[in-house]
Structures are given as C-alpha cells and as structure tokens.
Amino acid sequence: MLAQQIANGIVLGSIYALSALGFTLVFGAARIVNFAYGEILMIGAFFTVALMGALDIDFFVALPVAMVGVAALSAVLFYVALRPVMKSSHTSLQAELQIILVTLGLLYLLREAAVLIWGTAPRPIEMGVDGIVEIGDVVMTTKRLVVVAVMGVLVLGLYLLLYRTRIGKALRAIAQNREGAAAIGLDADRIIAFVFAISGAMACAAGSLLGTLYAVEPAMGGPPLLKAFVIVIFGGLGSVPGAIVGGLAIGLIETLAGAYVSFAFKDVFAFLALIAVLLLRPAGLFGRPAS
C-alpha cells in the first residue's frame, strides 16, 4: 500500500516537475513570472491532439513536432508582448507590475483563443501504450511509466543543453548577471527568446503528457500553473534542481496526504508545506538567499 502510494506520488511528481521546469527557466533567466505559462501548456496539449488528428500520426511522432511549434509560439509571444514592456520600464515595481500584467493578459487571451478554436469539451489523447507493469506489490499502467521516462529524457536533455553547449553557457551568464553578460557582447533579447522557446517546448511536453493521463481542455492550464508556483517557491525560484526535487516532493506530499490524512484536502497540504518552507528557508530549498 505504502509502496504503491509512493510510486503514484513519483508519477504525479514527475509531471509536476516537468511543468515547473519551463516556468523556473524563464524566471531564472529573465526574472519574469510568466502567468501565461499554464495556457502555453494547454495550447501545447491541443497542438499535439490536433496534429495526431489531422495527420493521423502516433503520439510520439506528434509530440516533438508540437514542441517545436509551441517553442516558436512562445518566442513570438515574448517578442510581441513582453519585450516592449521590458524595454520601457524604469523602477523595479513598475517593471515587475507591467510584466505581470502583460502575462496575465496573455493568460486570458490564450485561454479564450483555445475556447474559440477548439471548444470547451474535454478531449482524450491516446498514447497507444497499454497494459500494466507489476513490480512486487506495486501495480502501475505502462502509460504512467512512460510519463516518468519522458520526463527523465527531457531533464537529461535540458541538463546537456544548459551545461554542455555554448548557448547554455550564455543562458546561465544572463541569469547570473544581465548587465555583465551584455557587456561581453551577449544579445540578451535573443537569449531570453531562446529561453522562452525552451520553456514552451517543456510546457508542451508536460501538457501533452497530462492530457494522456486525464484530458485536454481549455481550462487545464490553471492547476499546473498553480502547482508550478508552489514548486518553484518550494525548490527555489529559478533553480532547475529545485524544480525537479520540488516537483517530486509536492507530488509525494499530495499523494501520501491524500491517502493517509484526507483526500478532500489533499491540495491544501502542498500549500501548507510551502508556508512551512517559507518560514524556515525563505529562498526555497535550493535557492540562494535574496540579495
């Protein structure tokens, strides 16, 4: 029973971690709290569904194509809506407020666009993977194991990108010190646009995987966005390991508290854990203390 719950928690946590990664990347590189992130995730899931339907292709073929599409969309949104306010802002409150307002505006727009284009009815995504796997007492559908595996592959890919490529190095430089990076000739706008693209691709993967477990609908972006908030504060804003550990921790807390304490209040426990972390370690588990 306990082993089964832990396994369920890890599956849930993997999806949470994947959802939080794209969010934390953008915050780390550009100090942008992207409220439209959940909607990008939702649009990504719809892209995958639409591609599978239109071209009659397999989930694992459609997903990479959709990820590229959402990456492009995400970068375009940065150039069209966010770059203008990042340029014109002076004081920090004003800048912070304007960026949050624009991403909130995008949240409304993207959700309504999805409602207009695809309607509100939930749609399933067929992964085409059936059957169950038994390991000792733990029973799990193969689908859920695939979700964990995909998350593993994407995290590895992200790690290689960040630490083994030139653009990854540039990206980390921007995250550490934007003025300094600009002084040595890095084009901050292009790198932030690239981060938005990566973030969009991760969101698309997370949304599509969520869709295979539940369903795809315009309102599906809300809960993952809120979870991403909790996870990144829990793990440390802008920290990639923090998002992974935070995601797994929140997944486990919710599953275990839901099983052993109270199912109705399972979502509340994650928030209580968050408040506890803030009291003890305000910068998050993996965060550097704020300057």
**Least Å distance between CB 270 and other proteins?**
9
Find the binder of other proteins among 53, 105, 119, 152 (CB under 8 A). 105
89 in contact with other proteins (CB under 8 A):
yes
Nearer to other proteins, 35 or 47 (CB): 35
Position 219 contacts other proteins (CB under 8 A) = no
Rounded-to-integer distance, Cα 266 and Cα 145, Å: 23
Least distance between other proteins and beta carbon 53 (Å): 25
| Residue 67 in the binding site for other proteins (CB under 8 A) | no
Pick the closer one to other proteins by CB: 6 or 100. 100
The answer to whether 221 touches 46, Cβ cutoff 8 Å, is no
Q: Among the candidate windows 13-21, 27-35, 64-72, 157-165, which touches other proteins by CB under 8 A?
A: 27-35
Tell me which residues touch other proteins (CB under 8 A): 27, 31, 33, 81, 84-85, 88-94, 96-98, 100-102, 104-109, 111-113, 116, 222, 226, 229-230, 232-233, 237, 264-265, 267-268, 271-272, 274-275, 278-279, 282, 290
